[in-house]
Amino acid sequence: MAETETPQIYLITPPEIELSSFPDRLAAVLDAHEVACVRLSLPGRDEDRIARAADACREVTIARDVALVIDSHTMLVERLGLDGVHLSDGARSVRTARKELGPEAIVGAFCGTSRHDGMSAGEAGADYISFGPAGISALGDGQQAPHELFEWWSQMIEVPVVAEGVLDADHIAALAPVTDFFGLGDELWSADDPVARLAAFVAAMG
């Protein structure tokens, strides 16, 4: 259970990927710390741009036996040779994605701050549930996924849970006993040295 195991790292790519440099930055992070999964998280619907980014990231992840999932685009999973999809609409698309991709694919669901959505997504077949933002943000409606949500989930629900969004070392230290994964994106890539930043976050897990 999450109470006794150190959480795993779940990386989220930046919204814009510079193909000449990002694969090397990703490789450096994956070589420095054990990472469970990488999520390709690109906005927009430019299929060619997404495919080129997926190809570049997949070369890095597959060489290191790290799962690579894509944000929202279920139909691109098999075409791009990815391991699964991360759905951003709570429980709504989980059954459809599971049917499309089969039992072996990873299907994750972001459920914001809603315990009900999380439970529904888990019952629909999601492999993990993501709640967030776990930190304080002025974006969106300003809601924060509270510590109590992760605490309740880790005690009552067996589906793994991801804490993501506006994380810092203090949030990570507080949530480490009650989450299975930390979803880290801008928190790492905005740093001059993402490897060092991740090392500090891992140290904060205790």
What does each C-alpha distance from 60 to 1, 41, 53, 73, 85 come to in angstroms?
30, 16, 11, 20, 18
Q: Is the pLDDT of residue 56 over 60?
A: yes
Mean pLDDT, rounded, for 144-154: 97
Question: Which tokens hold the place of 1?
Answer: 């259970």
Give the pLDDT confidence of 109-118 residue by residue, as tens digits. 999 999 999 9
Residue 63 exposed, middle or buried by CB count within 10 Å (0-12, 13-18, 19+): exposed
Question: What pLDDT was estimated at residue 144?
Answer: 95
Give the pLDDT confidence of 150-192 residue by residue, as tens digits. 999 999 999 999 999 999 999 999 999 999 999 999 999 999 9
Question: What pLDDT was estimated at residue 4?
Answer: 52
Nearest to 77 by CA among 39, 43, 109, 44: 39
Question: What pLDDT was estimated at residue 3?
Answer: 44
CATH of 8-204, one of 2.40.110.10, 2.40.50.100, 3.40.718.10, 3.20.20.70: 3.20.20.70
Question: Which tokens hold the place of 31?
Answer: 């070589």
Mean pLDDT, rounded, for 47-65: 97
Question: What pLDDT was estimated at residue 203?
Answer: 97
- pLDDT-derived band at 139 (thresholds 50, 70, 90) equals confident
Question: Which tokens hold the place of 61?
Answer: 């992840």
Number of Cβ within 10 Å of residue 172's Cβ equals 24
pTM of the predicted model as reported, rounded to 2 decimal places: 0.96
Question: What pLDDT was estimated at residue 2?
Answer: 39
- pLDDT-derived band at 147 (thresholds 50, 70, 90) equals very high
| Phi then psi dihedrals of residue 65, to 5 deg | 60, 45
Mean pLDDT, rounded, for 41-57: 95
What does each C-alpha distance from 206 to 6, 18, 159, 175 come to in angstroms?
8, 33, 23, 11
| Phi then psi dihedrals of residue 10, to 5 deg | -125, 110
Mean pLDDT, rounded, for 96-104: 97
Output the 3-class SS for the chain. CCCCCCCEEEEECCCCCCCCCHHHHHHHHHHHCCCCEEEECCCCCCHHHHHHHHHHHHHHHHHCCCEEEEECCHHHCCCCCCCEEEECCCCCCHHHHHHHHCCCCEEEEECCCCHHHHHHHHHHCCCEEEECCCCCCCCCCCCCCCHHHHHHHHHHCCCCEEEECCCCHHHHHHHHHHCCEEEECHHHHCCCCHHHHHHHHHHHCC
Domain ranges within the chain, ordered by starting residue? 8-204
